[in-house]
Amino acid sequence: MNSAANRAAKLFRQKGGMLRTHEVIEGGIHPRTLYAMRDAGEVEQVVRGVYRLAGMPPLSDPDIAIVAKLFPASVVCLVSALSMHELTTRVPHTVQIATPPGRGTPKVAHPPIETFRFSKESLTAGVEERRVDGATVRVFNAEKTLADAFKFRNRIGLETAVEALRNYARRKRRRIDLIQDYARICRVERIMRPYLEALS
């Protein structure tokens, strides 16, 4: 590995092992170095425009990590977020992300993405960051996700929302007051009230 490739490999390691092409270039690495490393098997192309340093451990949640790299402003929501919080038995078949009203649907061949329109207030409430496979993933916290699940119950199924709330209720640390706050933001306070009263 030449000096340019060594610098590139160091940059990949500093950034968690996975980078978009523009991140490599912004890091001072020439595109031809990146492509030479790809051809030599030193990096692998995960999807178009996203590369990963070869020899790293397998990705634990590749779809989530790739979407976070491709669309860093997006927020993982609903069933995908419930899965990250271990509140559902459903296996997400798409990566569900929240987008602001009027924003176009992200276009990508893989992984499959499903978008949901959120108001500006709802889009910024309860967002936390996690590191997944070296990528910074923005995801709604558990309490906000529960309110969202009831808000979009017609899309994901009321049974999914109710199951998630019951699973949350079994936790030692639970914040019913916080769920109520998010329910007000999502305008589902009245719908959630009987379910929340059953937990108290």
Give pLDDT tens digits for 126-161: 999 999 988 999 999 999 999 999 999 999 999 999
Q: What pLDDT is attached to residue 108?
A: 78
The pLDDT tens digits of the residues spanning 69-101 come to 988 889 999 999 999 999 999 988 999 999 887
Residue 103, pLDDT above cutoff 80: no
The CATH code of domain 3-53 reads: 1.10.10
- Domain segments of the chain as ranges: 3-53, 62-197
Burial 10-43 (b: 16+ CB within 10 A, else e): ebbeebbbbbbbebbeeeebeeebbebbeeeebb
Residue 188, pLDDT above cutoff 60: yes
- Measured distance CA(101)–CA(104) in Å, rounded: 9
The pLDDT tens digits of the residues spanning 24-39 come to 999 999 999 999 999 9
What is the chain's mean pLDDT, rounded? 91
- Measured distance CA(101)–CA(97) in Å, rounded: 13
Read off the pTM.
Answer: 0.85
Residue type, 46: V
